[in-house]
């Protein structure tokens, strides 16, 4: 297959922009099949800063991998779920984790 | 599963270091099942600099994904192949490319 990663529409490049980041993949993996509130998600992802989590969630929502639902409550309540496209990444992420478990490198 | 990506031994983090990079994945994909000479590999990967290709190949050799064979000839001849572990990444890379082909984002 001819892959030109310098081309913005390259399918490998596009997908790497989503799954190649340290945090995006982990956020998708932690949301997984559940509906999760912002605070709980933050607690699940050790070491992520508030600023990074918010910006990565916005990126994933904009790209259509994560759905955000805000409730008009005080204090504000925000919930995240994966979209169908986001859920399709889960088997891929599981394989990536499995590869890391199975191999020493 | 509990994943702590701040931990250096985290299987997701480890594997992302290999496949998360823009170039590493593409280099592995281009070598694929063949034995390829340095010059040919360079031509296959549009946009990569000499310095980047050499450093990424060294990284992949050090990690055990790529095997380098040097011939004592003039001009020097260097060939690259994937190790068994490197080849195990190919189905994963194919799925990642397929995901990018199948989805608009």
The pair of three-digit structure tokens given for residue B55, joined into one six-digit string:
């450093």
Closest of A15, A2, A16 to residue B43, by C-alpha:
A2
Across the interface, whether the CB atoms of B15 and A96 are under 8 A apart is answered yes
Listed ranges B21-35, B55-69, B91-105; the one with the highest mean pLDDT: B55-69
Q: Is the dihedral of CA A35, A40, A42, A44 positive or negative?
A: negative
Closest of B98, B99, B105, B5 to residue A59, by C-alpha:
B105
Q: What's the pLDDT tens digit per position in B19-32?
A: 877 788 889 999 99
Residue B84: the pLDDT is 97
pLDDT confidence bin for A9, thresholds 50/70/90: confident
pLDDT at B90 over 90: yes
B87 touches chain A (CB under 8 A): no
Q: Which residue on chain A is closest to B11 by alpha carbon?
A: A100
CA angle (B61, B66, B68) in 5-degree steps: 75
Nearest to B25 among A6, A12, A26 (CB): A12
The pair of three-digit structure tokens given for residue A60, joined into one six-digit string:
């994933």
CA distance B70 to chain A (A): 23
Chain A residues with CB inside 8 Å of B85's CB?
103, 105
Beta strands in chain A (DSSP E): 36-37, 66-71, 77-82
- Distances from the Cα of A9 to the Cαs of A6, A63, B42, in angstroms? 9, 14, 21
| Prediction ipTM score | 0.82
First to last CA, chain B: 28
pLDDT confidence bin for B82, thresholds 50/70/90: very high
The pair of three-digit structure tokens given for residue A45, joined into one six-digit string:
């992802």
Q: Distance between CA atoms of B100 and A61, rounded to whole angstroms?
A: 17
Q: Distance between CA atoms of B60 and B54, rounded to whole angstroms?
A: 10
A11-102 folds as Arc Repressor Mutant, subunit A (1.10.10)
Closest of B71, B46, B67 to residue B58, by C-alpha:
B67
Residue A103: DSSP 8-state: -
Say if residues A92 and A29 touch (Cβ distance below 8 Å). no
Across the interface, whether the CB atoms of B12 and A20 are under 8 A apart is answered no
Residue B81: the pLDDT is 98
Q: What's the pLDDT tens digit per position in A18-45?
A: 887 778 888 999 999 999 999 999 988 8
């Amino acid at each position: 297959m001819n892959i030109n990663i310098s081309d913005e529409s390259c399918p490998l490049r596009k997908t790497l922009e989503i799954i190649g980041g340290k945090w995006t993949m982990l956020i998708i993996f932690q949301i997984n099949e559940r509906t999760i509130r912002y605070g709980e998600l933050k607690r699940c992802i050790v070491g992520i800063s508030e600023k990074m989590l918010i910006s990565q969630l916005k990126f994933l929502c904009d790209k259509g991998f994560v759905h955000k639902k805000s409730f008009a409550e005080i204090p504000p309540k925000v919930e995240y779920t994966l979209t169908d496209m986001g859920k399709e990444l889960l088997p891929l992420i599981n394989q990536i984790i499995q590869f890391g478990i199975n191999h020493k490198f």
